[in-house]
Amino acid sequence: MDNRSEAELEDLFPAVAWRAPLPTQRRDGTSGFACRFCINMNGLEARDTDILPQTLTAFEAHMRTVHGRAIERSEIGGPLRQLRR
């Protein structure tokens, strides 16, 4: 786990798509999208909690409300856009 700010993480690891949705699957078999910032702050077991968004729309809302910036369309790959429909 890391105590660095989001800006520090983006500066230290510019190759990581911090604000892009990370497709994930929970242990109970449900799938959705995880936030790299939240995983960094809470550890890898964060994927097993109820705070992770389940849909791309929920992920976008999470990024706007929790992290203060909506994701850019260029950060969403083609296949992920199709999942929103």
Contacts of 60 (CB under 8 A, 6+ apart): 70, 71
Using a 10 angstrom Cβ sphere, with 0-12 exposed, 13-18 middle and 19 or more buried, the burial of residue 12 is exposed
Over the stretch 30-85, which tens digit does the pLDDT of each residue have? 788 888 888 888 776 655 566 666 788 888 888 888 888 767 555 555 544 444 44
Report the predicted TM-score, pTM, of the whole model to 2 decimal places.
0.66
Sorted by where each begins, the domain ranges of the chain are 6-68
Q: Name, in order, each residue with C-beta under 8 angstroms of 66's C-beta and a sequence gap of 6 or more.
A: 35, 38
Q: In whole angstroms, what is the distance from residue 67 CA to residue 5 CA?
A: 11
What is the pLDDT, as a whole number, of residue 77? 53
